[in-house]
Each structure stands twice: as structure tokens, then as C-alpha cells.
A and B are shown apart, each in its own frame.
Chain A
Amino acid sequence: MGVNQNRKHRGYNFAFLDENTKREIRRKLLKAVAIPGYQVPFASPELPIARGWGTGGLQITMAIIGPGDVLKVIDQGCDGSVNAVNIRKLLVKTTGVATTFDTNAASIIQTRHRIPEEAMRQDQILVLQVPIPEPLRYVEASEAKTREMHGEMDYSRMWVYLYENIVQYGEITIGARYPSLVNRRYLIDPSPIPRWDVPKLNQAETLYLFGAGREKRIYAVPPHTLAEPLEFEDFRFRVEDFTGRSCIRCGATDTYMNEMYDSSSGRKLFVCSDSGYCDRRREQSVTQNLACAEPTGHPLGRVPPKAEALVAPIQERSRSYPTASKEAGALEQVVIEGKEAR
């Protein structure tokens, strides 16, 4: 009852979904947490956003969000890209919760294809949007068969796939969606996060919830749970290598970066994929009055907004956020290490 008083729009329940639907999702979430890595089927009703555009993550967020939560929504690390903005708008309209671009200030972060750079805490929840929840889909087309394979923990074909990769290319070619074994039992598709983010799932402080709306599956990696990427004894798992690269906006050398090609100068540029983290680093370097890596004249090298604006409600913030992603539209964005699942 308390939550319903807070709703912004009449005609909708708090967080859009009716309470029974939310309760169903919460029950499935409990099951998912109780059996780490197990894909729990759920109803996945229609939403005002098309399936395949983050409805799985959206439903989880809607089911767990309360009026006191502080929400952050990111799309491939960026707070300002279309998918994130739309989902954030829908959630704000139907809940009225505060939003933030600051990872540390958020209590719930919904994300597409990235885990934030800053280590998350135990009082935070990360909700991931998943296009294809089934890691065995690489090797088996039939859902009935893959469920049986999970039931019997028969992952040999995934292993053979990796073996064949090594034989053919001398390297495992899976860039994003790297299959990982949770709690030494269930193989999961960690959603199309880059390899860089996969180790963050292992023995984390934070609860990771995965929702696939189109495929109607929910699964979870609870805190302090093993989540190990598949690797051979003589071919260990590796993350993307950014040695010698630094972000043109904040100068960071230890983050996951997007490679961009400036067609006018022909240069390859690198910029932090996590825009919130990048902004904060720039902010710090400005306030400390340190020389920040400012490639003058480049459209990406603009001074970040004021610190207060970082935690301001989205309505004001979204206007003052034509940073990386929007202006980068002029540049051709190249995704590092292969295929993005979409």
C-alpha cells in the first residue's frame, strides 16, 4: 500500500507491473538465487518496450525496485545511449525514484552488456539484460536437449567447441558471452559482457540478476559464489589487452575501452566504455586542478558537467549529457574483439 502512494502516473501501478506479476518474478528470483546459474522460466508479459530491447532486465528491476531506491541505467557502459535513456525514462515515470550516473550512489543498476568499472558493494544489485540466456545454444539448437544437458551437467560439447577454436585459430574466439560455470554446477551465458567483466562475477560482493525477456528466463549469480570461465589447463582464460592504450577523455589505462576511428584524421582513439566512471575521473582531475589528458579541439575532449549535476534527476541531466556517445556518432565506433549479440 505504501508504495502505491508514491506513484507518479495515475492508471499505472508502481513500477508499471501489477503486484501479482511482480510477485511471480520475485518468486522466480528467489529460486534463481537458491540455485545459482539455473535458468528459471518466468511468464515475461508484454511491456511498452519490445522484447529483445531489455525487457528481461526491465522486469527484474520493476519487480525489485522500491520508492527509496536510487537507479542507474547503462547501455554498454554508457548512461546516455538510447536503450538506457528509454528504460530510465519509463522507470522514472512509473516509479518516481531518484536516478544517478554514479555507480557508488546507485542501489540498483540495470545494465546492457557491461559491468561498471568500480567494484560494487553488497547493498547494491546489478540487473543484466540478456539476449540469449542459453550458453549451449552455440552447440545445440534444441531447447529440450540443452535442458537435458544442463540437468545431466553434460557440457562436453561446449568444451569441444572451445577445443576446436584453439585448434583452428590458436585462440578461443568468443569475445562477449563467455561461458562460465557457476558454483561448479550450471553453465551460464553471462550476457554479452566483454571478457573483461567476466572475472567480476566470481566471488563478488554484489548480487547479479540476469533477465531474458524474449526467452523468458531468469538466473542469478549470488554474492560470494564461484563463477569460473571455462578454460583449459594449458589455455587459460584471458581478458582483453589494452596495454599501451589510454582513454582520451580521462587518461585511464586500467579500464575497458572502446576503440574509435576518427575518419577525418585516420587515428584510432580509445575511450572508457564506462561513461560514469570516466566522467568521475575527469571531474576529480578538474577539481584537483591537475592537467587532465585533454586532446584540445577534439569533440570528445569537453569539460564534464559539475559534480552536483552527476546525481541530479534525469530530466535535467539528460539535456546536459551530450558527451561521448552522442557526439561520437560522428565517429565510427568499432567494437573491440568481435561480435556484439543483438
Chain B
Amino acid sequence: MAATGEAVLDVRGLTRLYGAGCPDCLVLTGPDAGTNICPQCHAIVACNNISFDLEQGEILGIVGESGSGKSTLLRCICFDEEATAGECYFAAFGTGRDDAFSQTGQARRYIRNHLLGIVYQNPLMGIKPHFTAGGNVAEKLLTADVYNVSLIRQRAATLLQRTEVPLARMDDFPANFSGGMQQRVQIAKALANNPPVLLLDEVSTGLDVSVQARVLDLIKEIQRDLGIAMIVVSHDLGVIRLLADRTGVMQHGQVIEFGLTDQILEDPQHRYTQLLVHSML
């Protein structure tokens, strides 16, 4: 399903600093300065004034080297971390023009539970190894106010089947699952209540190649069938090429290049992007 032109998520000027910060932090860091640490106050600028929108049914790729601020960006959007500055609008929240970052903890939890699905690089961050696989999916449904055991079990079974987790293991603990299977449980959980936005942080990193391919297939399939908009963060251009419609390239906390994925891969403009594309295997 192609993008329809309606923004489900709109991020404006997202900035995240670690440390006290000074007025010149944002100017003194970035790709030109070659660092994301402010030379004056030694604050780390993880995300520097990042703006983008995410359209209905679109997959947006974010690529960049380790420490460039990709994951922090996602973690700010899903409220795991608090953005230092900036605004974030969800089309499905309030009037659509209510800044999510300035909401109360309770409202932010509502957004996170009802409007977002998050898949972390480390499956154990997203799922609880000592809740059963079904229980993990149930948790997401319960946060979204579904209080019917048989309904929950039906939905969990459907999703686990879809993500190729054997149904016989629905009531087993993910602590005893392989990494790939844990990751698929995590995806099933993230999808449980059909969130309009799915955030994927390095989902395929650390999985062996065949499992990686299956997970990527699954993501593609979900996007095609359910039309969920996604942000895919990866340092792997191969993953981005396979999944993303549009891509942003990040370095030292800034987005240095943004455009259609094909365009970025075929005709990279920024020096760092050129380096990245040419070093692709």
C-alpha cells in the first residue's frame, strides 16, 4: 500500500540534549563540527532540531552510524525519553494539532498504549520474558482496555500465527525462546491493537540471515496488509533499501540528507551518505 499523503505523525524541531546545555550547543555540533559533543559545555546533542512527517501507510527509514541519534529519536517519539525541545503531533490524538510532548504522563501513556507499537532491537526490552508469549500480547491489549480473556486469547493466537510463532508455544515463556522467536513475539505484541504507527528499532540486527529475511518479509507484509505507517531505524542500508519508501540519513545528531530511498541510494549528495552507500556490501 502506497502512502496516501495524509500525515499520521508530524515531528517538528525535535531536540534531545544529554547534559546541562548552553545556548551554542546546537550550533557548535553536527557534521560540520565533526562531533555531537558541545565543546563549550560538553553536553551531548543526540538529536538536533529534527523535523519530518510520516504519511499513512508509509515506511520511513532512518539510517546512520552508531551514536548518530537514531535510536534516541525513536525513544523520544515513544516517550521512553523526554525530548528537550520540539513538538510531536499524532493525527489520531486529540484534534491532531495537540503537541504530544507537552501532555501529562497519563495522556502520553494513552498515546503509547493506543496509538503506537514499538519493537526494540533487544526483544527483552519490549517483552517480559517471564510472562507467557500470549501474556505479552495480552499486556498490549489490556493497556488498550480489552478485558475479555477469550477475546484476548483469540487475538494473541491470530497474531502469533501471523508472526510464525508456533501456537503450541503460546503459553510458554519467551525466556526459553530463541532470539528470532522472541523478536517475532515482540512484533506480535506491538501489533496487538492495530496501532496507526509502528516504531522499529534495529529489528533485524543480531538475527541470523534466514531469520532476518523472515522478519523483514513479515514487516513488509504487515505494511502491505494493514497499512500501518512505520519508522524503521537501522544502520544497515540493505534493510532500509528493502523496506523504506523515504529515508533520512543522520550523522552527529542531525539529518544530513532526506529523500526517496532510491534517490538517496542512487545519487547520494552528502559526503557521508556517499561513503555509506559506497561501503555497502
A contact set with B: CB distance below 8 Å: 148, 151-154, 156-157, 159-160, 163-164, 166-168, 232-235
| Interface-central residue, A163, A166, A234, by most chain B CB under 10 Å | A163
In the complex, 11 of the A-B residue pairs with CB atoms within 8 angstroms, ordered by the A residue number, are: A151-B106, A152-B105, A153-B106, A156-B142, A159-B139, A167-B132, A167-B135, A167-B153, A232-B147, A232-B149, A233-B147
Which B residues are in CB contact (< 8 Å) with A232? 147-149
Question: Can you name 18 extra interface pairs (CB under 8 A) apart from A156-B139, A163-B152, A167-B134?
Answer: A148-B105, A151-B105, A152-B109, A153-B106, A153-B109, A157-B139, A159-B138, A160-B139, A160-B142, A163-B142, A164-B131, A164-B132, A164-B135, A167-B135, A167-B153, A233-B147, A234-B148, A235-B149
| B113: A residues at CB distance < 8 A | 156
Query: What does DSSP make chain B's interface, helix, strand, loop or mixed?
Result: helix
* Chain B residues with CB under 8 A of A164: 131-132, 135
Does B147 contact A167, Cβ atoms closer than 8 Å?
no
| Residue contact B149 to A160, C-beta cutoff 8 Å | no
Q: Is the CB of A163 within 8 A of B149?
A: yes
Asked whether any CB of chain A lies closer than 8 Å to the CB of B143, the reply is: yes
B146's closest neighbor in chain A, by CB? A233
B279 interface residue (CB < 8 Å to A) = no
Interface residue count for B (Cβ, 8 Å)? 21
Q: Which of B101-144 contact A (CB under 8 A)?
A: 105-106, 109, 113, 128, 131-132, 134-136, 138-139, 142-143
Q: How far is the CB of A180 from chain B (nearest CB, A)?
A: 15
With both chains docked as a complex, state the minimum distance between the C-beta of A3 and any C-beta of chain B, in angstroms: 43
A153 to B106, CA, bound (A): 7
- Interface centre among B142, B143, B150, by most chain A C-beta atoms within 10 angstroms, is B142
A235 to chain B, nearest CB (A): 5
Q: Write out, one digit per residue, whether chain B residues 237-256 have a CB within 8 A of any chain A CB (1) or not (0).
A: 00000000000000000000
Chain A residues with CB under 8 Å of B135's CB are 160, 163-164, 167
Give Cα A163–Cα B170 distance, bound, in whole angstroms: 13
Q: Any chain A CB within 8 A of the CB of B171? A: yes
Residues in B neighbouring A154, C-beta threshold 8 A = 109, 143
| Minimum C-beta distance from B150 to chain A (A) | 5
In the complex with contacts A167-B171, A232-B147, A234-B148, A160-B131 CB distance below 8 A: yes
Nearest chain A residue, comparing its CB with the CB of B105: A152
**Least CB distance, A179 to chain B, in whole angstroms:** 14
Question: In the complex, which residues of chain A have a beta carbon less than 8 angstroms from the beta carbon of B136?
Answer: 160
Q: Are A152 and B147 in contact (CB under 8 A)?
A: no
Residue contact A233 to B148, C-beta cutoff 8 Å: yes
Most interface-central of B105, B147, B171 (chain A CB within 10 A): B147
Chain A residues near B131 (CB, 8 Å)?
160, 164
Q: Considering only CB atoms, which chain B residue lies closest to A154 in the complex? A: B109
